[in-house]
Amino acid sequence: MHDVKVVREFFEKEAMSWEREHGPDSERKDGFQAVYSVLRSIVESFPQPPKLLDMGCGTGAHLRLLSPIVRSAVGLDLAEGMINEAKALAERQIGPNSNLTFIRFDASDIENIGNLRNDMRDFDMVMIVGALEHMLEREKLLRTLHDICTPDCQLVVVSPSKFSIPFLIERVRNFGNPPRLCPSDTHFSLGKLKKVALQCGWSFQFARPIVAPPSHYAGGPTKLMYQLDKGRAALPILRFFGTYCGVFTPTRGAV
């Protein structure tokens, strides 16, 4: 059963070790870097430093690194432990007066985002990194994000594709049991995301495969794809079996 309580409990448990296991200095640092470099290139494509919202920010590692090139950024996350870590790490690494704000918030409650602070609008960029697949009521979320963005906003979604190797491994390991966190039948492939996003006022701009080196997801098939990708031969395959980054902008005159 895909339930926000289950998702929250899972990530509360992960919070203290998240940075160590998934952050920029972790064993998976190459995978982190693969995502970060795509995010950074999108931030750098704005004529002025953007105002950024990170929905499902975890411990805020991407935001800390993006801090010098954004005007301001808000990181929201369901898990209190993630937010506490994000605040502590930002204070330690950037200082008390950084341009980053972290607040505990459930994306299912998106219609009340304005109650958090009175400047929770006019975002130039919204990113949802490895998190949309865990969220419920995604249509309501995408519609409301549209309403709190600037007309030239970029919505950036990074998510494992439905047939990504880690998902397939998880499915085989868990065969016969209900999925723990992200049921693959409700998971958004890039194709599904494009369709739903369009209905919610977002036009698809472009997609990039996230090419994570083998340290990210150890395993023969991933290693093979990475080797192939060095020659740029496997990009279409990676789009299908790897992690995608989809970028959207508000449809003119929509919703």
- Residues forming contacts to ligand SAM in the complex (CB under 6 A) are 4, 7, 11, 22, 56-58, 61-62, 76-79, 82, 106-108, 129-131, 134-135
Angle at 148 between CA 204 and CA 79, to 5 degrees: 95
Please compute Rg for the chain using Cα positions.
Answer: 17
Nearer CB in complex with ligand SAM: 154/234: 154
Nearer CB in complex with ligand SAM: 181/233: 181
Nearer CB in complex with ligand SAM: 35/234: 35
Nearer CB in complex with ligand SAM: 33/203: 33
* Amino acid making up residue 63: L
User: Which residues, listed in sequence order, are joined to residue 246 by a DSSP beta bridge?
Assistant: 157, 207
Residue number, nearest CB to ligand SAM = 58
Q: Closest separation between CB of residue 163 and ligand SAM, Å?
A: 18
Q: Closest separation between CB of residue 130 and ligand SAM, Å?
A: 4
Nearer CB in complex with ligand SAM: 81/234: 81
154 contacts 41 by C-beta, under 8 angstroms = no
> What is the DSSP secondary structure assignment for residue 156, as one 8-state letter?
E
Q: State the Cα–Cα distance between residues 63 and 36, nearest whole angstrom.
A: 10
Could you count the other beta carbons within 10 Å of the beta carbon of residue 219?
A: 14
Q: How many residues does the chain have?
A: 255
28 contacts 51 by C-beta, under 8 angstroms = no
Q: Closest separation between CB of residue 207 and ligand SAM, Å?
A: 18
Q: Closest separation between CB of residue 18 and ligand SAM, Å?
A: 7
156 contacts 245 by C-beta, under 8 angstroms = yes
Q: Closest separation between CB of residue 232 and ligand SAM, Å?
A: 25
Q: Closest separation between CB of residue 224 and ligand SAM, Å?
A: 25
Nearer CB in complex with ligand SAM: 157/238: 157
Q: State the Cα–Cα distance between residues 231 and 233, nearest whole angstrom.
A: 5
Q: State the Cα–Cα distance between residues 44 and 46, nearest whole angstrom.
A: 5
Nearer CB in complex with ligand SAM: 234/245: 245
User: Which residues, listed in sequence order, are joined to residue 77 by a DSSP beta bridge?
Assistant: 104
Q: Closest separation between CB of residue 53 and ligand SAM, Å?
A: 12
